[in-house]
Chain A
Amino acid sequence: MVDFALTSEQTSLRDMARKFARTEMAPHAAECDRAGRFPDEIYRKAWELGLMNLNVPTEYGGTGLALFDQCLIVEELAHACAGMTTSIIANCLALEPILLGGTEEQKHRILDPFCAEYHLASFCLTEPSGGSDAGSLKTHARRDGDHYVLDGEKCFITNAPFASLYTVFATTDPTLRHKGINAFVVSRDTEGVLPGKEEEKMGHRASATSTVRFEGARVPVANRLGADGEGFSIAMRTLDQTRTPIGALATGIAQAAIDHAAAYAKRRHTFGKPIAEHQAIQIKLADMTQALRAARLLTWEAAWTIDHGERGSLESAVAKCFASDAAMRVADEAIQVFGGYGYMKEYPVEKLLRDAKLAQIYEGSNEIQRIVIARELLQRYA
């Protein structure tokens, strides 16, 4: 049975996220974007309301939502500001490896105190020498008694300057390639953990991004997730889970672009009538709407598939790739609807284009997503 109706519980979750997005995030979106300000007070409030650790089960102090429900929330938040949303959902990405690879003891020991207060966490996979080719990462973990000693550098790490916890992927033996990778939970106050300075970004400027250097950082063996060498698998399974909300984030950007464009088209007059009555604009809005709705449905399908216990590599890659490409096109067209005003920072649509761009790049670039899609597809043929 196919049923597109949301339950009343889902509607109330979405309404709550919408209210938070409109009243707490949207009023500050332009200012944070302009100044590149990290609005810690908004993130703290998001945590207080249970919007932050959405994927962590309630037994460890999180909100414990199904992926589908997470996506409903992420779309609403991203409608107000994709950058803030990235910072709010960065915890989900950083904590997912613990949920997937951690023992019961590790989950309680690490997540219980983490979720009980306002804390940020960062997922540290990408390195300066390459992000997509995760198998060849260079950060090294040397076993020393009951510790590992980490050395290396991670880059483009969301929330890194403010995080109190990092999930770090490092290799114990580069010659083993994927099989040498391990995942570690590293506390910020470990000696030799050195976040860099915040990057100046094109979009997502309310989010903070920096490098993190590890210089002889000693991490207890008890903080390794999974069996020795299981790190790469944990990273990939994590991304399978968290890729779909990026589709939701992109959908939120696209919805915002259409909302702005349609409202503007109805009040802006040329040639004696609102531009919404010109077919050139109607065709744009119709195409934008098709892209939006397809993006949302693909995201929902991917989330639904994963919630039903399947890995959903194909579905989530399709959702993330399609939705972020759609957001890019829709934001682009929204600027065109606004004409010259759309190019001005005083109006809200140029930010959407800058924000949409990142969704095509992070959490696996869209080129990687297409490789995944093709691989999944071709596997089905003899």
Chain B
Amino acid sequence: MTGALALLERTAGGVTSASREAVGVARTVADGGAVVGLLVGPGGTGPASGIPVDRLFTVEGPGLTDPSTAQYAALLSHAATQLGVARIVVPGTARGRDVVGRLAVRWAASAATGVTDVTLGEGGSLRITRPVFGGRASETLELPGPRQVFAPKPHAFSEPSAAAAPAPSETIALPDGFDKLPTRGAEGFEPTAGSKGPELGEASIVVSGGRGLRTPESFRLVEDLAESLGAAVGASRAVTDAGWRPSSYQVGQTGRSVSPQLYIAVGISGAIQHIVGMVSARVIVAINSDPQAPIFKVADYGVVGDLFPIVPALTKEIRKQRGLPAGPTGSGPG
């Protein structure tokens, strides 16, 4: 068996970047076979145009605007069986991981999440590498065949180049017993308050602020910097404990773990509880007044100095370089 199936998660007007990354990875594990995309629910095949799959499956039906993980798992299992593919790649979003767990059971496949590297192994197996212990270590696993399902870690793989021509699309029918599966039960959506940027766990750039900002008002400096980069905003526990920002901002052992391409720590000293939540970022920049701060041990680049003039200057420079209007920068004290 060759070929791989990738789930394409719809988002407003397109598919998630994690889906495009999944397609790129699917090409690696298709072992010369076809890469098939599965697009679920109404909205046409438009969102998949430019995505380099060889075939595109679509499925429609009642309640598929927002499928449950059980429904996703059933659809993927059904499509994979029909196609005879050996591997399914699921986008590495929060819900994608849940789909992997269900699908592994339903499709009797070996499974992994958070995959940062994958190669073909012996006898239909896959060798995958994934970070463990908050990025403080990594493990290499052999996922036995004949079937595997896994989710790449967000941003670990680059998005594939766009396809010149749309892939032929075909519809598949719903599997038997589909109407008996648990549905999503969603009743509404609340965008993360105060954050216009991308979601913390998914962002390719994260800017976090800590106690060094001294007041809740000056946390604006961090948000302005994040906005200039199109980054998500995070915070150390000191900030969320003090109530400057809600606990959903917290990066670290008791908050979110992030692994962006770029992590900028502003006024964060770098307690181990914070480090474990961000150490797997590809590039870490620290801005702190204390040259002895432990954050500089894990950072790739450090700026020692008073953040109050430095951060607005940085925001200004970035906006200039990116051709953005000067914007509301330098509003903090100092």
Contacts and interface: CB of A to CB of B under 8 A. Distances in A.
Contacts of A264: 292
B294 interface: yes
A264 B292 CA distance: 9
Contacts of B136: none
Nearest to B238: A27
B297 interface: yes
A268 B294 CA distance: 10
Contacts of A267: 292, 294, 297
Interface residues of B, number: 3
Interface string A255-295: 00000000010011000000000000000000000000000
Interface string B295-327: 001000000000000000000000000000000
Nearest to A263: B294
Interface string B223-243: 000000000000000000000
Determine chain A's interface SS by DSSP, over half rule: helix
A267 B297 CA distance: 9
Contacts of A268: 292
Nearest to B297: A267
A268 B297 CA distance: 12
A267 B294 CA distance: 7
Interface in B274-303: 292, 294, 297
A99 B239 CA distance: 46
Nearest to A269: B292
Nearest to B293: A267
Interface in B35-76: none
Contacts of B294: 267
B214 to A, nearest CB: 14
Interface string A153-192: 0000000000000000000000000000000000000000
A236 B78 CA distance: 81
B292 to A, nearest CB: 5
Contacts of B297: 267
Interface in A343-364: none
A379 B292 CA distance: 55
B70 to A, nearest CB: 38
A339 to B, nearest CB: 12
A346 B294 CA distance: 17
B120 to A, nearest CB: 44
Nearest to A27: B241
A268 B292 CA distance: 6
Contacts of B292: 264, 267-268
A264 B297 CA distance: 13
A264 B290 CA distance: 13
Nearest to A268: B292
Nearest to B241: A27
A267 B272 CA distance: 14
A185 B155 CA distance: 69
A50 to B, nearest CB: 24
A268 B293 CA distance: 10
A131 B286 CA distance: 54
A267 B298 CA distance: 12
B242 to A, nearest CB: 10
A264 B294 CA distance: 10
A144 to B, nearest CB: 56
B269 to A, nearest CB: 11
A267 B290 CA distance: 11
A42 to B, nearest CB: 15
A209 to B, nearest CB: 30
A267 B292 CA distance: 6
A80 to B, nearest CB: 15
A16 B312 CA distance: 43
Interface in A219-270: 264, 267-268
A270 B18 CA distance: 47
B88 to A, nearest CB: 42
Interface in B236-255: none
A16 B294 CA distance: 27
A15 to B, nearest CB: 16
B291 to A, nearest CB: 9
A264 B293 CA distance: 10
Nearest to B294: A267
A264 B291 CA distance: 12
A23 B297 CA distance: 25
5 contacts: A264-B292, A267-B292, A267-B294, A267-B297, A268-B292
Q: 5 closest Cβ contacts across the A-B interface?
A: A267-B292, A268-B292, A267-B294, A267-B297, A264-B292
Interface of A: 264, 267-268
